């Protein structure tokens, strides 16, 4: 009986100690909320605002001479909540640093500590397959809008300006949408 009383008292003392434990609060981090309120015919989908297009690995032998290209990879810009009483068409223009003056439609690669590929850049094509200049003023072929959600298709590919050398081949461009 004595042993049973000791076990019960021990269990009760552990429970009361746990109940009296202090609450601890620690800093966790920061949450960033980004967005924009627009007065336009549509709103650009959040997934289209900051996307990555994976061009994958391409052999330098495939980009051995000026004008050689890799296979094109599709990507989309989605427009939400479109109202055709405000506008019936949308076109997109891309901005970025061109690889050189002779190739205003070829996006220069970013420098990489690991070593960048040379004599190659990224070309963006609209839905008709037309390469787009990267000046922010050359808009894609306009796409007719429907009320609600619309998807505007594009493609990206590597474009050789001479015999490409191996290395990291990443590039960035920004875009804007023009409504008509």
Task: Give, for 147, the enclosing helix (H) or strand (E).
Answer: none
Q: Mean of the pLDDT values across residues 34-43?
A: 88
Is the separation of the CB atoms in 134 and 96 below 8 Å? yes
Is the separation of the CB atoms in 178 and 139 below 8 Å? yes
What pLDDT does residue 163 have?
Answer: 97
What is the rounded CA–CA span in Å between residue 123 and residue 108? 9
Looking at the whole model, is its pTM more than 0.85? no
All structural domains of the chain with their residue ranges: 43-179
Q: What is the dihedral of CA 68, 126, 53, 100, to 10 degrees?
A: 50
| Answer CATH for 43-179 from 1.10.10.60, 1.10.3720.10, 2.60.40.1090, 3.20.20.70 | 2.60.40.1090
What is the rounded CA–CA span in Å between residue 139 and residue 77? 14
What pLDDT does residue 29 have?
Answer: 87
DSSP code for 2: H
Q: Could you tell me whether strands 73-82 and 89-95 are parallel, antiparallel, or unpaired per DSSP bridges?
A: unpaired
pLDDT of 7 strictly over 70: no
Which among 49, 47, 44 has a CA at the least distance from the CA of 81? 44
What is the rounded CA–CA span in Å between residue 81 and residue 150? 9
Listed range (27-36, 62-71, 104-113, 138-147) with the worst mean pLDDT: 27-36
> Could you read off the pLDDT of 47-93 as tens digits, one per residue?
999 999 999 999 999 999 999 999 999 999 999 999 999 999 999 99
What is the rounded CA–CA span in Å between residue 17 and residue 129? 72
pLDDT of 5 strictly over 60: no
């Amino acid at each position: 009986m004595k042993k049973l009383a000791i076990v019960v008292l021990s269990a009760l003392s552990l429970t009361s100690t746990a109940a009296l434990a202090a609450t601890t609060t620690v800093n966790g981090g920061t949450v960033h909320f980004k967005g924009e309120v627009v007065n336009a015919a549509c709103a650009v989908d959040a997934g289209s605002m900051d996307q990555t297009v994976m061009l994958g690995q391409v052999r330098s032998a495939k980009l051995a001479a000026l004008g050689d290209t890799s296979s094109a990879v599709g990507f989309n810009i989605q427009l939400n909540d479109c109202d055709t009483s405000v506008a019936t068409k949308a076109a997109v223009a891309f901005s970025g640093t061109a690889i050189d003056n002779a190739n205003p439609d070829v996006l220069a690669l970013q420098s990489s500590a690991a070593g960048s590929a040379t004599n190659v850049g990224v070309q963006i094509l609209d839905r008709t397959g037309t390469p787009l200049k990267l000046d922010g003023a050359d808009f894609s072929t306009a796409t007719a809008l429907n009320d609600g959600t619309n998807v505007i298709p594009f493609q990206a590919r590597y474009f050789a300006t001479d015999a490409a050398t191996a290395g990291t081949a990443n590039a960035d461009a920004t875009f804007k949408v023009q409504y008509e």
